[in-house]
Structure 1
Amino acid sequence: MSDTRTPRRPSGAQRRVLAPLALAQFICSFAGSNMNVMINDISEDLDTTVQGVQTAITIFLLVMAALMIPGGKLTDRYGRKRCLLVGLVVYGIGALLSAAAPGLGVLILGNSILEGIGTALLIPPVYILTTLIFTDLASRARAFGVIMALGGIGAAAGPLIGGLITSALSWRAAFVFQALVIAVIILLSRRLEDPLPPDPTRSFDTTGAVLSAAGLILVVMGILAADDSLWLTLALLALGALVLLGFFRSVRAKERAGKEPLLSTALFRDRTSNLGLVTQNVQWLLLMGSSFTVAAYLQVVRGYDAVQTGVIFTAATLGLLVSSLAAERLAQRWPQRTLIVTGFLATLAGIVVLIALAGSSPNPWALTPGLLLIGLGLGVMLTPSVNVVQSSFPEEQQGEISGLSRSVSNLGSSLGTAVAGTILVAGLSTGAYAAAMIALAVIGLVGLAAALLLPRTPAR
């Protein structure tokens, strides 16, 4: 897809379109992190266990990961705007049901099932519409910068916002807050226009959807089981890999028969896109892994509550916001490869500073320089990584690549939490937190290596 085409809409119209798309990413990222500070309150109110609430969070991740690729494909058949609105409505119903939940079962139905389905339906259209509407590199970089900024803020500030709402009102109010934001997004989406008409004749690969969903569920279950059993993790990952292998064999068979599969193998023939997907995975792994580790350290070792922990995390949120919103200006001055490499270097430097200052000073504010660097680094590279992947394919493949891209990012988020959680569970001591951050830094080097392999000048 060319980056030099003139934008189809005036900038004012583009800004009006961007607001609901960015808010949609914010609320989904918020939902993925704010539950962590409400576990005790929910378990006491619903007369269940902490493990029961954690199960609800796990099921949400499973549903979202399993349906993201089929959700992206459905946009081609039914239209991007329609899928976005249906996803918002399903999500909003789930949030209201969760707010009124009398027990764990209803909470799982509302939060885990309905919100998971809604997220899988609404997130792919966010990225597809952004790619289609913002057609030149600078405006697209700015748009993705705003979306990634609000997504990162939702993930990083979710515990603080959720903690404030829970402390001031109740955990149920946090779900009402989500429903209200969804209502605002629906109102703002009225002026949204789909640049491409839906194609009802497009086939849908049901077999591929089932196999891909089953494979991703097994992989995510394996990642999340890392806290409990290494052997169970290996078994689930191996089984998931076998199912995904069956999925790709099914895809190849359909392509040879001249039929349209759920996911085209052509998506994996673009070297630049493949490297971009690796950087996306590692970026979200670093974001969620470092957030989990630092939050656990502040609460377990330093004894801070959710609100105090969230306040310290403001440094990372601020850094991410500033660098993400500068995405347009950065894209105009620097190649995307340079920005991704710089982002990884800044993030790795932030981890080093975080470990050094946290171990040498009892002052909790000693963590802020490292967190600020991590936020700045992630904000610099999240946008160009998404842009590299989405811009590597023509309009007719945006549904497929968007679903794949979001699945890869979600797997990174799950893996980051699992890696950090496994190391912390193995030894809940001050040294374990440093070990978890070092492990994240080593994985970050893999992302840096992938970034260095990106072409210096992207192909037109």
Structure 2
Amino acid sequence: MAETVARTERAGHGRVLAALALAQFICSFAGSNMNVMINDISRDLDTTVQGVQVAITVFLLVMAALMIPGGKLTDRYGRKRCFLTGLVVYAAGALLSAASPGLGALILGNSILEGVGTALLIPPVYILTTLLYPDMTSRARAFGVIMALGGIGAAAGPLIGGLITTGISWRAAFVFQALVIAVIVMLGRRIDDPLPPDPTRSFDTAGAVLSAAGLVLVVMGILAADNNIWLMIALLVLGALVLWWFVRSVRAKEASGQEPLLSLTLFRNRTSNLGLVTQNVQWLMLLGSSFTVAAYLQVVRHYDAIQTGVVFTAATLGLLVTSLSAERLAKRRPQRTLIMAGFVVCIVGVAVLIALVAAYSTAWAFVPGLLLIGLGLGVMLTPSVNVVQSSFPEEQQGEISGLSRSVSNLGSSFGTAIAGTILVSGLTKGAYAAAMAALAVTGLGGLAAAALLPRGTGAGPATTPPPHHRP
């Protein structure tokens, strides 16, 4: 009887993990699959490469700007309800994108609705995983599956999107997203929320507006770099001032005993802070390199969508191999060591990519570098998440999950914005190399942050305590 109950619980956890992992897959897929549709969308909607770049960046930006409020809402309305609501909003955006007659409708469907849906559904993925898997080893296995599908979604997005675009049309890629969402909804109905929602929890609306506005202004400033340097400076300064205003409002609310959108105590954990930096840089490198290589292949080398997607298979395989080894690696090596090793491999991969593409005109020149980038990212994505999520007790999981995902998606936005800004200034080998070099330099910053993590961080299954339970 006990064995039957245990098998039933494992099967239930398996279905829940499948729903959570598929959710991360489709959101990451949405962030990269449009990279191979640049030419098709530009022609069909009578827009430019820069117009498509704006749509991609705004999607990533909306996710980043709303992820903190999305995480906070899980405490008030429950993780399952936010998860399912986000899926429905996302599906509506995907279907609108599929039918869009112009760039404006595409931005509304893909960038806004899918972005809002993602901000609602992704924080519950990480909160539920942390709560359902209390020890380091099982949590590493679960996060390994989630991050593997997330990384594969980002890396294989160009291939899957290329196959669909070439075989049917770019619009069918959005229908594909809606179909996957339907499957996730069916699986997600079986989720049991470990914590009951607390309708009495307050929501800091002013803080949500200020944090979102500040992040939007900062990324828009980066996007403006190729058009007007003074506009860029003005937007960056204004964004910094709004974020400073947000911090001031948080301090005032905490001093008066009110509950702010984001407690500043989250930033007093040095290990978590460094882990957040590594997350940001990882996704910056992943989405930045994906956009750069995809744009170069299509605009400079005139590859079609499916040819571009095939080239990215190397990165997908690398991510798959190392991400699915997360549990075994977590048992053998400290999280700090894995994160550092991942950055080193990624940076070497970028250097190889630049060197071989400059020397050879064949598509095979992209394979070694992309494979190394995929291997490096797969090694470190899971440890970075594990380090951050495991640094806080159960009652702070909503806040830290929203902050963690916001930081990661902000990295994705930065990667696409920075690389895109360099590329559109002149789509040549020189611009391609400059964009990739900028990503490598950022990777060195991530490596430095990883090196500052406490030695032995997360070493083995017993060193990081599970989240505390409420009395």
TM-score, normalised with respect to structure 2: 0.92
One-letter identity of the residue aligned with 1:125: P
- Structure-2 residue corresponding to 1:391: 390
Separation in 1 of the partners of 2:153 and 2:244?
34
Separation in 2 of the partners of 1:22 and 1:78?
22
- Structure-2 residue corresponding to 1:315: 314
One-letter identity of the residue aligned with 2:291: F
1:35 to 1:427, Cα distance in 2 relative to 1, 3 A? closer
Separation in 1 of the partners of 2:39 and 2:423?
20
> In the alignment, does 2:197 pair up with 1:198?
yes
- Structure-2 residue corresponding to 1:3: none
1:96 to 1:164, Cα distance in 2 relative to 1, 3 A? same
- Structure-2 residue corresponding to 1:238: 237
> In the alignment, does 2:155 pair up with 1:150?
no
Spell out, residue by residue over 1:30-77, the C-alpha distance to the aligned partner (whole angstroms, 9 max, x if none).
Answer: 111222333443344445555554444344233222211101100000
> In the alignment, does 2:234 pair up with 1:258?
no
- Structure-2 residue corresponding to 1:379: 378
SS at match of 2:258: coil
- 1:5-404 equivalences in 2 (<5 Å): 10-47=9-46, 52-404=51-403
Separation in 2 of the partners of 1:103 and 1:418?
22
Separation in 1 of the partners of 2:171 and 2:65?
27
Conserved? CA contact 1:222–1:232, under 8 Å: yes
- Structure-2 residue corresponding to 1:4: none
Separation in 1 of the partners of 2:41 and 2:370?
29
- Structure-1 residue corresponding to 2:418: 419
SS at match of 2:189: helix
Conserved? CA contact 1:285–1:412, under 8 Å: yes
SS at match of 1:24: helix
Deviates more, 1:287-296 or 1:185-194: 287-296
One-letter identity of the residue aligned with 2:407: V
Spell out, residue by residue over 1:170-197, the C-alpha distance to the aligned partner (whole angstroms, 9 max, x if none).
Answer: 2221111111000000001121111111
Separation in 2 of the partners of 1:11 and 1:140?
14
- Structure-2 residue corresponding to 1:451: 450
Separation in 2 of the partners of 1:215 and 1:75?
22
1:449 to 1:105, Cα distance in 2 relative to 1, 3 A? closer
The alignment covers a number of residue pairs equal to 453
Measure how far apart 1:354 and its partner are.
1.7
Conserved? CA contact 2:32–2:291, under 8 Å: no
Conserved? CA contact 2:140–2:327, under 8 Å: yes
Separation in 2 of the partners of 1:328 and 1:159?
27
Conserved? CA contact 1:350–1:372, under 8 Å: yes
Conserved? CA contact 1:351–1:441, under 8 Å: yes
Spell out, residue by residue over 1:188-239, the C-alpha distance to the aligned partner (whole angstroms, 9 max, x if none).
Answer: 1121111111111111111111111111111121222233333322221111
SS at match of 2:242: helix
Identity of aligned residues (%): 80
Spell out, residue by residue over 1:72-120, the C-alpha distance to the aligned partner (whole angstroms, 9 max, x if none).
Answer: 1000000000000000011111212222234444333322222111111
Measure how far apart 1:10 and its partner are.
4.5
SS at match of 1:191: coil
Conserved? CA contact 1:227–1:418, under 8 Å: no
Deviates more, 1:211-220 or 1:241-250: 211-220
1:386 to 1:192, Cα distance in 2 relative to 1, 3 A? same
1:368 to 1:453, Cα distance in 2 relative to 1, 3 A? same
1:112 to 1:363, Cα distance in 2 relative to 1, 3 A? closer
Separation in 2 of the partners of 1:87 and 1:224?
27
Measure how far apart 1:430 and its partner are.
1.8
1:352 to 1:105, Cα distance in 2 relative to 1, 3 A? closer
Separation in 1 of the partners of 2:103 and 2:350?
37
Conserved? CA contact 1:350–1:371, under 8 Å: yes
SS at match of 1:38: helix
Spell out, residue by residue over 1:122-177, the C-alpha distance to the aligned partner (whole angstroms, 9 max, x if none).
Answer: 01111111111111111111111111111111111212211211211122211111
1:154 to 1:436, Cα distance in 2 relative to 1, 3 A? same
Separation in 1 of the partners of 2:139 and 2:9?
13
1:281 to 1:210, Cα distance in 2 relative to 1, 3 A? same
Spell out, residue by residue over 1:427-455, the C-alpha distance to the aligned partner (whole angstroms, 9 max, x if none).
Answer: 43323322222222111111111101101
SS at match of 1:187: helix
Structure 1 unaligned segments of length 5 or more: list them: 1-6
Separation in 1 of the partners of 2:275 and 2:52?
34
Separation in 2 of the partners of 1:328 and 1:233?
43
Spell out, residue by residue over 1:287-328, the C-alpha distance to the aligned partner (whole angstroms, 9 max, x if none).
Answer: 112222222332334332221121111001100011001100
Separation in 1 of the partners of 2:246 and 2:420?
30
Deviates more, 1:30-39 or 1:306-315: 30-39
Deviates more, 1:96-105 or 1:185-194: 96-105
- Structure-1 residue corresponding to 2:468: none
One-letter identity of the residue aligned with 2:202: S
1:416 to 1:48, Cα distance in 2 relative to 1, 3 A? closer
- Structure-1 residue corresponding to 2:3: none
Separation in 1 of the partners of 2:346 and 2:168?
36
- RMSD (CA atoms): 1.9
SS at match of 1:262: coil
Conserved? CA contact 1:33–1:158, under 8 Å: yes
